[in-house]
Structure 1
Amino acid sequence: MLTDWINEHNIRIIEHTDNWQSAVALAVQPLIDVGAVESRYLQAIYDMHREIGPYYVLGEGIAMPHARPEEGVIHTALSLVIVSGGVTFNSEENDPVYIIFALAAIDSHSHIEMIASLSHLFCDDEVVEKLRGCRSKQEVLQTIRQY
């Protein structure tokens, strides 16, 4: 379940952020804080974005920034930022982004259940819309509890 990974300590709800870099930094910071990733993990995401574009914008309004395990992942973890006003990631078809799940995976298979839960959530437009409108951490946890 996503609530095995997402809790009050790794959820941020903000109204606005200046750019995609600050949005990604806000999402990755809880992973750094709990020791799931080294600080260089954030730079690896920035570097990949510059090289190949917003590869982690998965659909309309949803992003899942991540980098390769060897870029500083210590253990698998997840965090969530909701940007109520949205933020541009330069992903033409999917901007603005409102929901940002930062993912750290220790390898290519240990996080499969987490990804499966996230994909179920992403496919439910009603839940995505509800999540986008959440204004409290408790509301977020209630919304994702079924996944």
Structure 2
Amino acid sequence: MFTPETIALRVPATDWEEAVRAAGQLLVANGAAEPRYIDGMIRTVRELGPYIVIAPGVALPHARPEEGALREGYALVTLAQPVTFGNPDNDPVQVVIAFCAPDASAHLESLRVLAKYLERTDFVPRLLAAKSAEEVLLYLATDA
């Protein structure tokens, strides 16, 4: 699901858009999405609001498959400083997990897999404390 190349830690971002772009760039660099997918993720937040901030401190940006998703892909970014997306219940955000899926079925499966991680009570603190992508991968590989 994640590789060292799809994880970036303590990334500087001045606002939610920069945070989404940082995660989206990892999807593009990994060949999971076209560059236009990043614009699709940002457009989705602008049009539908910050519903992607689904837990305290965590945002899951994504776009529709036809906006440039090439295959199933995931990117995880922790931010150097929290940013506000506009979600009064779950802001500020410091963990951004972008994903793309080529169809609706894969999209739902991606959400199911990510939900398992989000159930972990130590999820956000462990990610923020991680010093390397390898440390994040070890944590994600363990059962909750």
Matched, 1:38 2:34: yes
Gaps of 5+ in 1: none
Match for residue 108 of structure 1? 104
Distance 1:36 1:127 in 2: 24
Give the C-alpha shift of residue 110 in structure 1. Answer: 2.4
Distance 1:42 1:141 in 2: 24
Distance 1:15 1:80 in 2: 11
Matched, 1:24 2:20: yes
Out of 109-118 and 92-101, give the one that drifted further. Answer: 109-118
Decide whether aligned partners of structure 1 residues 107 and 122 sit closer, same or farther in structure 2, where only a CA change above 3 A counts.
same
Decide whether aligned partners of structure 1 residues 34 and 15 sit closer, same or farther in structure 2, where only a CA change above 3 A counts.
closer
Find runs of 4+ consecutive structure 1 residues off by over 4 angstroms: none
Distance 1:15 1:30 in 2: 12
**Secondary structure at the residue paired with 1:81?**
strand
Out of 26-35 and 106-115, give the one that drifted further. Answer: 106-115
TM-score (norm 2): 0.90
**Secondary structure at the residue paired with 2:63?**
coil
| Structural RMSD (CA) | 1.6
Kept in 1: contact 2:5–2:30 (CA 8 A): no
Kept in 2: contact 1:27–1:102 (CA 8 A): yes
User: What is the correspondence of 1:55-66 to structure 2 with a 5 Å cutoff?
Assistant: 55-66=51-62
User: What is the correspondence of 1:1-147 to structure 2 with a 5 Å cutoff?
Assistant: 5-14=1-10, 16-146=12-142
1:97-140 Cα distance to aligned partner (Å, 9 max, x none): 11111100101112544432321110111233212221211211
TM-score (norm 1): 0.89
Give the C-alpha shift of residue 81 in structure 1. Answer: 0.1
Gaps of 5+ in 2: none
Distance 1:28 1:73 in 2: 11
Which one-letter code corresponds to 1:136 in the other structure? S
**Secondary structure at the residue paired with 2:33?**
coil
Distance 2:44 2:107 in 1: 21
Distance 2:109 2:42 in 1: 26
Which one-letter code corresponds to 2:72 in the other structure? T
Kept in 1: contact 2:101–2:110 (CA 8 A): no
